[in-house]
Amino acid sequence: MTKKIYHKRPTWDEYFLEVAGLVSKRATCLRRKVGSVIVKDKRILATGYNGAPSGLKDCLELGYCVRERLKIPSGQRHELCRGLHAEQNVLIQAALHGISAKGSTLYATHQPCIICAKMLINAGIKEIVITDGYPDKMAMDFLKEAKIKVRRARNKK
């Protein structure tokens, strides 16, 4: 007689959000670790995390955060940061390798900011799945107007 072994497999959302969480561990931001994954037809197309452009010193190497020193609140003055956001980096990685993001889903550890939301709209992302929020109502308004579905899912570890 064969004994059945039951194993709880993660849902696709749980799986890709866990990958985004793993990607976020590469982030070099001292304020917030963010990871993102572009997925189409259950295949990972590209990954990205927040950090300084290639070849430039990041906040970990410098030992400080410019935004912290200037006391800039979260969600404001994005241009005063050494790093790119995870969503920007995932789109850049896809572009560098000739991969279209059109019609794909973005899985991310956090809600995109307004700058990233505009980029994701123009890249043709159809859906965004996040685990945590971000203080940027305008971003959510833009995504809603662009008819991009945003879902908040829990990553069950």
CB hemisphere CA count around 102 (13 angstroms): 2
The number of beta carbons lying within 10 Å of the beta carbon of residue 34 is 28
Catalytic residue among 61, 68, 79, 87: 87
Alpha helices (H) along the chain = 12-24, 59-62, 66-69, 86-96, 114-123, 137-145
Residues 6+ apart with CB under 8 A from 32: 50, 74, 110
User: CA–CA separation, 13 vs 139, rounded Å?
Assistant: 22
Q: Is 87 a catalytic residue?
A: yes
User: CA–CA separation, 67 vs 74, rounded Å?
Assistant: 9
User: What residues act catalytically?
Assistant: 87
